[in-house]
Amino acid sequence: MGVPEKLAERMSMAEQHEYLRAKFSRRSMIRGGAVTLGAVTGGQFVLGGTAQAAVPTQSTAPATQHVDGALVAPFGRHLAFGNDPRTEITISWQVPVAVKKPFVRIGTHASHLSVKIDAEVRTLYTPAGVGASGDHTQYYVHAKLTHLKPGRTYFYGVGHDGFDPASPQFAGTIGTFTTAPSHKEPFTFTAFGDEGVGYHGLANNSLLLGQNPSFHLHAGDICYADPAGAGQTADAGFDSRVWDQFLAQTESVAKSVPWMPAYGNHDMEAWYSPNGYGGEDARWNLPDNGPDRKNLPGVYSFVYGNTAVISLDANDVSFEIPANLGISGGTQTKWLEGQLKKFRASKDVDFIVIFFHHCAYCTSTAHSSEGGVRQEWVPLFEKYTVDLVINGHNHQYERTDVIKNNAVVKKLPIGGTAYPETEGVVYVTAGAAGRSLYAFSAPDSYEGHVADVDTVSAFVNVKGGKQNETVSWSRVRYLNYSFLRVDVQPASPGRTTTLTVSGIAETGNRVDHFTVARKAK
């Protein structure tokens, strides 16, 4: 993206950001600007009420002429929960050129989109010389809805001056979403990491939609606009336009299923901000209840039914790719413990699911395991009996036995049951969403093709480099495209509530399944 490779290897994300700004800003600013998060208008949705305007922020984007809005169709719709999935959701989308007065229409029936809410435009400018994008401006639009009713299906349409989804000619653009229920009931969610743009990602998305999930977790390395992924700006292949392709690819699912990402190493883009996440701030509107919205916008939590979900940013603790190592100054780990303590004490929460990018436990010959995660977070996962940890980073499917103190507490064969209250934690690497596959040093072993081995040779990334290890916890290995399906079954207090976790191949075949069980509160 513009920093000499040798220099970039010695620079943090913040230092690379400053270097790029010094190099490109003079000629770029003459043209009109750099990254901008320019708000047009913003509002909140109150059923039966009125929209309240948000305070606009200054925009320094290049001046752009508006075209006839009737000729511009929104695309790349994607949903995300707010802090409370029962009452809050954000509808986001893109337009290829600047439009006037973007908005969302919403109602309880497709023919009655009676409420109109102003939307916020975040303009993202990438100048010539920063990767392969050329002078490229992207327009991301967001409308945050609040005061929704729990367990309700809403109809919505997105538009702008000249393009009204309530008009008959645009009726085919109407979508739906459903808020979280106010009480415990069965539901399904899906998860994967490392998707990118291409056939396999598209195929997995088609299978995801067929699972009818209540939400989807993306464990980082979202679209690969930065193909190098080292947190360095020497990569001339960086292309911000890949995000447009990605959001168009995922729209078939994300327009109706909240799409909740964590950030990986390929999601740090140094041009936009010192932490590398300025571009992500333009594209996503995620819960803002994390410990440090400025430095860690991908860290947040939400509760759906009886399950608490926590998204972490493992770039903060990664020894392998240290561009953002220590960016939180320890606040993320402190926040994590506070969240775990709160959720374990909550009478409404039975399960805690955590997802992030860099693997705690994996035997891939590529990245393998991250020692920073083991050092900072694994002790907390064990202390607070976390029920499931989902990672990406390594492009394959792998699942561990039940682990505690870095050792196997109990073997967990396919179809087995783990009891985290008394045993340990199960870790799943689900990084085979679409990018090219990696490799294992041991043979594949999955449902219908079991090939158990006593030990597997691997390594863990530590502060000084790679440290070899021989492990016995690698229980399921599947080297092909896949994703996770998790079925949550609540129970009355004192009875057994379960998570049934399944690995689903791109073929539709199940390659793994196991159960996590505990007493319901």
Burial class (CB in 10 A: 0-12, 13-18, 19+), 405: exposed
The answer on pLDDT for 454 being more than 70 is yes
Contacts of 507 (CB under 8 A, 6+ apart): none
CA 387 to centroid of chain Cα atoms = 19
- Cβ 162 vs Cβ 61: under 8 Å: no
Q: For 224-237, what is the mean pLDDT?
A: 77
Distance CA 502, CA 153 (A): 27
Which whole-number Å values give the CA distances from 482 to 106, 430, 439, 448, 488, in the listed order?
34, 7, 15, 16, 20
pLDDT at 62: 54
The boundaries of every CATH 3.60.21.10 domain in the chain are 189-519
Distance CA(61)–CA(121), nearest Å, equals: 11
pLDDT 10s digits, 430-440: 999 999 999 99
pLDDT score recorded for residue 37: 39
pLDDT number for residue 131: 84
Residue with the larger pLDDT of the pair 165 and 6 = 165
* pLDDT for residue 510 is more than 50: yes
Relative to beta strand 351-355, strand 388-391 is parallel
Region 495-516 average pLDDT: 98
In tens, the pLDDT along 10-32 reads 678 888 788 777 777 644 433 33
293: CB partners within 8 A, 6+ apart: none
Chain region(s) in the chain for CATH 2.60.40.380:
32-176
- Classify 32-176 by CATH class: mainly beta
Q: Three-state DSSP class for 302?
A: strand
Instruction: Determine the average pLDDT of the residues in 392-410.
Output: 97
Mean pLDDT value across residues 131-143: 91
pLDDT at 48 over 50: no
Output the DSSP codes for 129-162.
TSTT--SEEEEEEEEEE-SPPTT-EEEEEEEBTT
- 21 or 4, greater pLDDT: 21
CATH number of 189-519: 3.60.21.10
Band of pLDDT at residue 53, cut at 50, 70 and 90: very low
User: pLDDT digit string (tens) for 377-387?
Assistant: 999 999 999 99
Angle formed at CA 404 by CA 407 and CA 377, multiple of 5 degrees: 115
pLDDT-based confidence at 9, cuts 50/70/90?
low
Whole-number Å distance between alpha carbons of 262 and 250: 16
Q: What is the mean pLDDT of the chain?
A: 90
Strand order in the sheet with 465-471: 369-370, 456-462, 465-471
Q: How many CB atoms lie within 10 A of CB 439?
A: 11
* pLDDT at residue 511 tops 70: yes
Mean pLDDT of 183-187: 96
3-state SS, residue 393:
coil
Residues 122, 284: contact at Cβ < 8 Å? Answer: no
What is the SS3 assignment for 395? coil
Lowest mean pLDDT among 232-241, 427-436, 487-496: 232-241
- Whether residue 77 is predicted with pLDDT greater than 90 in this model: the reply is yes
